Amino acid sequence: MPVIEYLERNARQYPNEVALVELNPGEKETRRITWREYELMQPTSEEPYRREITWSVFDEKANRFANMILARGMRKGQKVAIIMYNCLEWLPIYFGVLKAGCIAVPFNFRYDADEILYCAELAEVDIIVFGPEFIGRIEQNAEKLMKNRLLIYVGDNCPSFAESYLEMVANCSSMPPNVPIYEDDYGAIYFSSGTTGFPKAILHKHQSLTQAAQMEQKHHSTGRGDCFLCIPPLYHTGAKFHWMGSLVAGSRAVLLKGTSPEDIMSAVSNENCTIVWLLVPWCQDILDALDRGDISLETYETKQWRLMHIGAQPVPPSLIKRWKTYFPDHDYDTNYGLSESTGPGCVHLGVENIHKVGAIGIPGYRWECKIIADNGQEVKQGEVGELCVKGPGVMTCYYNNEEATAEVLKDGWLLTGDMAKQDEDGFYFLVDRKKDVIISGGENIYPVEIENFIRKFDKVKDVAVIGLPDKRNGEKTAAIIEIKEGMTCTREEIDEFCLGMQRYKRPKEVIFADIPRNATGKIEKPKLRKIFGAENLVARENEE
């Protein structure tokens, strides 16, 4: 069944129950309103602290958006991009796209103006829906973006180059659109990148979305009485498909627009959250705040909190051991996946296997796994090779990129690019990434982008960017820089030059040293990791 049918079922069976809550910790806690009340408010610069939406209103809003874009000429298979921060409008718009038979195309909210344009053209997007935070970035290329595209603005004070979402849907029908949707229809495009940093458009059918939703509910036994706390951005397959376990169960979820330990613990306590998905940095921050006494468990109601799970990056076993000292009754799970496999869960640890912390786990619900050598043959148990997965959540293709598709799809198997091994009990462990992507705080950082930028500095002869162990974020970017002969350079000069990059891409560590290259001219990054990574790793483990 297409995943939209779960929303329609919930609207019928639980129409007046709260489906989603949006929390804005930076605002006054006294301003708590429903979506209906919010729509009647006059424009204001102040967001309410708490908004909520029922299942029936959720479904109605999705129907209105679907009917609106159909009335504007959209047809089945056309594409709608969404670039917004988490908010109560995000998911109804996403489901409205699906109900119209169109393809939802979430954009990473970190994209700059040129990346937005690039991805819009790559995916052949017909509509772009954007929030207030992206006015400047959209405006930079508005003339190009508006060419054969509709720009829809979600918020107050609509810019002149876009049309207002609220005005457009106000008089549209709240009844389901008459568009048949099947599991074999295309449903979504997500973006991924290799070490070059150039995004690939990942095409999924509705079958993938349904598989991810059903798998999440099964893996974590999400029930009607659960409440899921969602903190990561909804453009991310992890956030959205972890939430879809609540969709399948017909249970409540909370969108938290804040990541401090106080924000998270308050949300858990005040909203009676039972399942929380954290990234390693947020987990680390909570533990550090507890250690320092900045927060106290006695302040919060946490008895109902039954599961903490982590995904998007490797998890240090020592972190989970620390977590269990404060939360001994919590179940724990870790989830492995990639956008090509509809996000997390194709491999997962399982709450019953906490004794195997450090492993990514075993094949997820309806998934198969194997490890292959360079020749494509399976390796023996215990040997290292490339992890491959197969299941109903594998992408259809990289959109309009047959060559890249052929490289990773082999007879229904998806080659993940991650090196792994399997122990005697059948659990998979990641050994290294075949690609050089750095994962810091759950976000992918692409070394080649940073290297190309730093090479523009006139004192730089060569540069290599690698990931080094970091206690809080899992990894941090380190730039090993070789200076031109006869020149001198300081860390301050490099830092100042790198101000031209987005903040999250700037190197957190700068090391001046020679860059080793092999006979074919490739940088020997494994050697650099060995030279500069070991000492950091030992220091981190000593601190823990």
Q: Give the confidence band of 196 by pLDDT, cuts at 50, 70, 90.
A: very low
Sign of the CA dihedral running 64, 65, 66, 71: positive
Which runs of E-coded beta strand occur in 423-484? 428-433, 438-440, 443-445, 460-470, 474-483
What count of residues does the chain have?
544
Q: Are residues 233 and 331 in the same domain?
A: no
What is the share, in percent, of the chain residues with pLDDT greater than 90? 71
Reading the block at residue 61, the tokens are: 């809003």
Domain of residue 511, CATH code: 3.30.300.30
Beta-carbon contacts of residue 298 (< 8 Å; ≥ 6 apart): none
With a cut of 70, say whether residue 101 has pLDDT above it: yes
DSSP code of residue 273: -
Quote the mean pLDDT of the chain. Answer: 90
| β-bridge mates for residue 50, sequence order | 23, 32
Q: Which of 234, 294, 233, 235 minimizes the C-alpha distance to 265?
A: 294
pLDDT for res 157: 93
Q: Are residues 48 and 188 in the same domain?
A: yes
Q: Are residues 492 and 445 in the same domain?
A: yes
Reading the block at residue 60, the tokens are: 């109605």
β-pairing, 460-470 vs 443-445, is unpaired
Look at residue 329 and give its three-state secondary structure. coil
How many whole angstroms separate alpha carbon 468 and alpha carbon 2? Answer: 42
Cβ-based neighbour number of residue 281 at 10 Å? 18
Q: Are residues 20 and 92 in the same domain?
A: yes
Q: Are residues 79 and 180 in the same domain?
A: yes
pLDDT for res 541: 41
Q: Are residues 480 and 412 in the same domain?
A: no
pLDDT for res 47: 60
Look at residue 125 and give its three-state secondary structure. coil
Pick the range with the lowest mean pLDDT from 118-122, 350-354, 447-451, 493-497.
447-451
Q: Are residues 424 and 514 in the same domain?
A: no
> Is residue 409, in this structure, part of any structural domain at all?
yes
Q: Which of 382, 413, 433 is the last residue of a domain?
A: 433
Q: Are residues 129 and 177 in the same domain?
A: yes
Cβ-based neighbour number of residue 195 at 10 Å? 20
> Is residue 281, in this structure, part of any structural domain at all?
no
> Is residue 211, in this structure, part of any structural domain at all?
yes
**Total tally of structural domains belonging to the chain:** 3
Q: Are residues 28 and 100 in the same domain?
A: yes
> Is residue 494, in this structure, part of any structural domain at all?
yes
With a cut of 60, say whether residue 378 has pLDDT above it: yes
Q: Are residues 227 and 174 in the same domain?
A: yes
Domain of residue 49, CATH code: 3.40.50.12780
Q: Which of 222, 243, 258 is the last residue of a domain?
A: 258
Q: Are residues 390 and 340 in the same domain?
A: yes
> Is residue 287, in this structure, part of any structural domain at all?
no
> Is residue 178, in this structure, part of any structural domain at all?
yes
Average pLDDT for 515-527: 69
Which runs of E-coded beta strand occur in 257-367? 275-278, 307-311, 331-338, 343-348, 362-363
Q: Are residues 362 and 479 in the same domain?
A: no
Give the helix ranges, DSSP H, for 14-89: 35-40, 55-71
Question: pLDDT digit string (tens) for 326-343?
Answer: 999 999 999 999 999 998
Pick the range with the lowest mean pLDDT from 27-31, 165-169, 274-278.
27-31
Domain hosting residue 326, numbered range:
307-433
> Is residue 276, in this structure, part of any structural domain at all?
no
Q: Which of 368, 356, 365 minimizes the C-alpha distance to 424?
A: 356
Q: Which of 243, 258, 273 is the last residue of a domain?
A: 258
DSSP code of residue 495: H
> Is residue 364, in this structure, part of any structural domain at all?
yes
DSSP assignment of 145-214, as one string?
HTTT-EEEE-SSS--TTSEEHHHHHTTS--SPPS----TTSEEEEEEEE-TT--EEEEEEEHHHHHHHHH
Reading the block at residue 314, the tokens are: 């490797």
